[in-house]
Amino acid sequence: RERTREAINHSVEHHTPYDIEYRTVSPEGSIKWIRAIGQTFYAADGNPYRFDGITIDISEQKAFEQRKDDFIGMASHELKTPITTLKGLTQLLERKLERDGVTGYVSFLDRMETQINNLTRLINELLDVSKIQAGKLDYAQEPVDIDALLSDIVEIARQTTPTHTITLQGTAHVTVTGDRDRLEQVFTNLISNAVKYSPQAETVDIVIATTPSHVTIHVRDYGIGIPDEHQDKIFERFYRVHDTHERAFPGLGMGLYIACDIIRRHGGDITVTSEEGQGSTFTATLPYQ
């Protein structure tokens, strides 16, 4: 109720549409999900004089969304087992062929393994998304040296990215409390996006800076950029910018959603500034001790 009241007040004060979803429990105990939409009308002197709106029962839609989320969770779980077996057997076969001196086929197996790794990454992202949805993604609490983390990530990124020069500027000399692997996942993802969405550019710049309470990490690319109207939506689940580029850039719109959750769960925030055709800068801010 408090949230609903605040939303109405906010809408009346700021002249913005009222649009909220909430759960109701009837006196008999039955549960319904409601979406309420409203709008305030103002007199010439600026005073509000009417608030019109409708409420829609979205219980069925909510139940369907829940089933879909459950399905994504189960599907990614079920996919993990065969893919792990496939990877193990591919490595075994590769070693056996090498030992027997049949090296002609080893490059095929290498390519198979690369594709299996791509599949594994996608399945893990699907699993992460469904865990975040269910509030079940757990984070370790360990000291993480930000300079060391970024320099490790950049070193690996340089090895796997022959097309771009990746620069790393600045040092923070700070320790963040959190989950090293998850933070690595965030910056690896930001860098691989920077490379993916700037096929014509040659550099990706990473800059570390500090304030008295926070460390900021900027990942800057000189690629296709993101139109204004999409910038606040790209952190949503499965959101991708729909335009002619879409087919040229494969992806499922999960990376930034996961990155955003990880950074927020570390008490930080992630934002983007971008200009179409000029490039984008993603900035992650994390509190340190």
Which residues here bind ligand ADP, judged by CB under 6 A?
Answer: 193-194, 197, 221, 223-226, 234, 239-241, 251-257, 280
Q: How far is the CB of 131 from ligand ADP (least distance, A)?
A: 16
Task: Write down the residue that tokens 């984008």 correspond to.
Answer: 280
Residue 194 or 206: the one with the smaller Cβ distance to ligand ADP is 194
Instruction: Mark out the alpha helices in 220-273 (DSSP H runs).
Output: 255-265
Query: Which of residues 220 and 266 has its CB atom nearest to ligand ADP in the complex?
Result: 220
Q: What ranges in 134-170 are assigned the alpha helix state H?
A: 146-160
Q: Which residues contact 127 (CB under 8 A, 6 or more apart)?
A: 73, 76, 77, 80
What stretch of H or E contains 208?
Answer: strand 203-210
Tokens 């097309």, residue? 163
Distance in Å, CB of 242 to ligand ADP, minimum: 8
Residue type, 271: T
**Looking at the chain, how many residues does it have?**
289
**Which tokens hold the place of 29?**
């105990």
In angstroms, give the least distance from the CB of 230 to ligand ADP: 7
Minimal distance, residue 253 CB to ligand ADP, in Å = 4
Minimum CB distance to ligand ADP smaller for 87 or for 237: 237
Contacts of 57 (CB under 8 A, 6+ apart): 32, 33, 34
Q: Is the CB of 210 or the CB of 231 nearer to ligand ADP?
A: 231
CB of 31 to ligand ADP, least distance (A): 32
HSE at residue 40, side-chain half, CA atoms within 13 A, is: 18
Q: Is 110 helix (H, G, I), strand (E, B) or coil?
A: helix
Residue 273: which of 263, 286, 282, 260 has the closest Cα? 282
Q: Which residue, 21 or 275, is less far from ligand ADP as judged by CB?
A: 275
Q: What share of the chain is helix, strand, coil (3-state, %, to 5)?
A: 45, 25, 30
In this complex, which beta carbon is closest to ligand ADP, that of residue 46 or of residue 250?
250
Residue closest to ligand ADP, measured at CB = 251
CB of 125 vs ligand ADP, minimal distance in Å:
8
CB of 251 to ligand ADP, least distance (A): 2
Q: Is the CB of 62 or the CB of 237 nearer to ligand ADP?
A: 237
